[in-house]
Amino acid sequence: MEEERREPTDEKERRIGDILYPLALASQVGFAIAGPVLVGLLAGWWLDGRLDTGWPIMTALLTLAGMVIGPIVAYRWVMAAMEQWRKDREKEDS
């Protein structure tokens, strides 16, 4: 279900949106990168404890996997958000 966006009523509101949108996107990118890393770290730590590996091999592997997956997720998220923002701006300008 796609959320309907409210159009800015004046120029001041549009400028505020132009400032807040990138800030919100930046905070979401931080969580998109940190989330998979933390999940990998915690899952690896738990697996190492359950499997009694002696070395934190699962922790290292899953943390590295999170470090690869996180930026990929963030990149795809930013590209989709920027494309939507571009479409909204074109719609507003026409």
**Which pLDDT score is estimated for 25?**
86
Q: Is 0.95 surpassed by the pTM of this model? A: no
72-83, pLDDT tens digit by residue? Answer: 999 999 999 889
pLDDT score recorded for residue 24:
85
* Average pLDDT value over all residues in the chain: 87
Q: How many residues does the chain have?
A: 94
Q: Tell me the per-residue pLDDT of 10-64, one tens digit each, with 9 for 90 and over.
A: 677 777 777 888 888 888 899 999 999 999 999 999 999 999 998 999 999 999 9
pLDDT tier at 2 (50, 70, 90 boundaries)? Answer: low
* Position 6 confidence tier, pLDDT thresholds 50, 70, 90: low
Q: Please give the angle made by the CA atoms of 26, 31 and 34, to the nearest 5 degrees.
A: 125
**Gap between the Cα atoms of 83 and 18, Å rounded:** 15
Close Cβ partners of 12 (under 8 Å, ≥ 6 residues apart): none
Is residue 8 within 8 A of residue 49, CB to CB? The reply is no
